[in-house]
Amino acid sequence: MASDANLDVAPLYAVPLGEFTRRRDELAARLRAAGRRDDAAAVRRLKKPSVPVWTINTLAHDHADAVRAFVEATDRLKRAQLDRAALAGATQAERRALQVLMRAVDTILGRAGVRPAAATLQRISSTLLGAATDGDARRQLLHGRLTQERQAPGFEALASAPIGRAGGRSSDVPRVPRTRAADERRAQEASAARARADELAAKARALEEQATMREREASQATRAVTELQHQLRQAEAGARERRQVAHEAATAAKRARRAAAKARR
């Protein structure tokens, strides 16, 4: 399996996005040549990461300390849900850590020649938040091995996390008054946002698959053009050779006519 500890595919997710397919196929070919057919097949099944996933994995490799600081800030915010006095500070700390990462994201995408839309940046920040609050995804985030995008948790999801508070009970924690209508509105808005994010993610994946197919077609066209240019050069060389032979024949014929005329005289 590609997830086996003996088969480290993490470097694949840090290569330039346009090189993923070629590097993946090269790795699969090496594994197959080494007799590791199952591993080779597992690698060939790996899908090209979306732009947000690739960006975040690159972020984890290039800015590991900043990613770790963001995860720690997210942990503090989760704990602060049970302590209103610390909530504001923890929220600001997480936002600052996220802003640091998003500035690095701009640099990474700019270096790759990508000009992201607002929806792409939203998917990146949402995936960062979602991965930082999930155990398995957090490990993938810290090691630059994410394979799929994530949804950011809402306030209610963080508040319901099973985190205790030393020296007190959950009933001792002051709660912000909420109305049922407001809860329902927030739930509807969150559901609509998730649906829209899923729709955008599906469209992005479809476009990225089309881009991969176009890259493959362009590569094939380039090879065909190269072959035609080679054939053209060969044809031009043959034409030059035939023109030279024709010129030499014409010269020889002219000499023969002169010799014949001289002989008649």
- Residue 180 inside a domain? The answer is no
pLDDT at site 100:
92
Q: How far apart are CA 240 and CA 191, in angstroms?
A: 73
Q: Quick one: 60 and 143 in the same domain? A: yes
Q: What amino acid is encoded at 1 in this protein?
A: M
Number of domains in the chain: 3
Q: Quick one: 115 and 76 in the same domain? A: yes
Q: How far apart are CA 148 and CA 47, in angstroms?
A: 10
Q: How far apart are CA 61 and CA 14, in angstroms?
A: 7
Structure tokens at 234: 């060969």
Model confidence pLDDT, tens digit, residues 17-46: 788 889 889 999 999 999 999 989 988 888
pTM of the model: 0.52
Please give the residue that has the higher pLDDT: either 66 or 169. 66
Compute φ and ψ for 89, nearest 5 degrees: -65, -40
Q: Quick one: 144 and 54 in the same domain? A: yes
What residues have CB less than 8 Å from 176, skipping those under 6 apart?
84
Model confidence pLDDT, tens digit, residues 211-226: 777 777 887 888 888 8
Is-contact 173 82, C-beta < 8 A? yes
- Residue 150 inside a domain? The answer is yes
Q: How far apart are CA 183 and CA 175, in angstroms?
A: 14
Structure tokens at 66: 């900043």
- Residue 201 inside a domain? The answer is no
- Residue 199 inside a domain? The answer is no
- Residue 195 inside a domain? The answer is no
Model confidence pLDDT, tens digit, residues 76-104: 888 877 666 778 888 888 889 999 999 99
